[in-house]
Amino acid sequence: MEILTNQSVFQYNTFGIDVKTKYLASFKNIEELKELLQSPLIQEEKKLIIGGGSNVLFTKNYEGVILVNKITGIDIVEENEEHVLVKVGAGENWHEFVMWSINNQYAGIENLSLIPGSVGASPMQNIGAYGVEIKDVFHQLEAVEIKTGNTQVFNHKECAFGYRESVFKNVLKDQFVITSVTYKLNKKPVYNISYGAIKQQLEENNVEDLSIKEVANAVIQIRQSKLPDPQKIGNAGSFFKNPIVSQAKFEELKQKFPEIAHYLLPDSTVKLAAGWLIDNLGWKGKRVNNHGVHSKQALVLVNYGGSSGEDIYNLSEDIIASVKEAYGVELEREVNIY
């Protein structure tokens, strides 16, 4: 395990930001991780765990250690007629794990196809798409505490999952390294195709016999048609979360904006589509120098090449201010800022 100094983070973040980190190292198993955490050179430095770098924005050089998680392995640890418990190394690629589960006929994560990044980051913000969130299939995870090097198991309740949230994104932020995640997948699929454009895409594909593979294919097609490929245009997916407002606030907004995109939630609050709020103010497709708002999805900020994280952050500030002024709603960033 080599600890490198003064390295560019360019290849470790999908936004394509080219700043430096004071130290950089990677680990392939828990023993290597613990050894790194005890290394005198970096013991006192602040630490950041990186998987695929698809949900981070670096606004300046990182004055600490970036540890890249490369723990692999997919193991079935328990099985019955209905379910299978699969323990997955945190450094496995998320989409490749989804494909593995589909090839093995295990259902539950097909709607989460083509989300970039690592398995270890999936509980971090309770990744979600098309009406499914990781919390729906989560069993438990193992994590190493950075300060003590102790291993701890977190069950569902202890992760405190919320909308694009978990305990690791707030109270315990940057305090634990998630080393494996165990998911409970179904042997008998329960399809969730009512969300977004899935049904329409399945019809276009002339699907007669529904299967998890067909659902995954539909999700992949929709995503490829709408979202910028980070290999071609730097981005970190949705930059902002969808705001949730009270019924009273929603009624007030509906008077002024009858077309406002919204979804009633079970607790009677209302989720507003942040993409609609931003698009309605004319931001979609707007380009400032080498960065801007994606032309097909106003929630996604993009780096066309060579922009700084600070520039992109400043654009997000402008969007937040403009949304606040127009609707009186405070947008929250989904992307982790460093």
Instruction: Give which of 261, 305, 258, 304 is closest to 279, Cα–Cα.
Output: 261
Residue nearer to ligand NAP on the CB measure, 19 or 273: 273
Residue nearer to ligand FAD on the CB measure, 50 or 278: 50
CA dist 123 and 178 (Å) reads: 9
Binding partner of residue 122 among ligand FAD, ligand NAP, none, CB cut-off 5 to 8 Å per kind? ligand FAD
**Is 122 considered catalytic here?**
no
> Got the DSSP string for 5-23?
EEEE-GGG-TT----EEEE
Residue nearer to ligand NAP on the CB measure, 21 or 217: 217
Q: Assess 226 for contact with ligand NAP (CB under 6 A).
A: yes
Strands 270-272 and 262-264: antiparallel
CA dist 49 and 121 (Å) reads: 9
**Is 223 considered catalytic here?**
no
Q: Assess 238 for contact with ligand NAP (CB under 6 A).
A: yes
Binding partner of residue 68 among ligand NAP, ligand FAD, none, CB cut-off 5 to 8 Å per kind? none
Contact positions with ligand FAD (CB under 6 A) in 118-137: 118, 120-122, 124-125, 127-129
CA dihedral sign of residues 201, 206, 212, 213: negative
* Cβ-proximal residue to ligand NAP, closest one: 237
292 CB-side CA count, 13 A: 17
Phi and psi dihedrals of 277, rounded to 5?
-55, -40
Q: Quote the least distance from Cβ 96 to ligand NAP, whole Å.
A: 18
- The site map against ligand NAP for 240-279 (x = CB under 6 A) is --x--------------------x---------x-x----
> Got the DSSP string for 67-89?
EEE----EEEEEE-SSEEEEEEE
| 125 contacts 334 by C-beta, under 8 angstroms | yes
Active-site residues, by number, are: 164, 238, 334
Contacting residues toward ligand FAD, per CB under 6 A: 14, 48-56, 69, 90, 115-118, 120-122, 124-125, 127-129, 168, 176-178, 227, 230, 235-237, 336
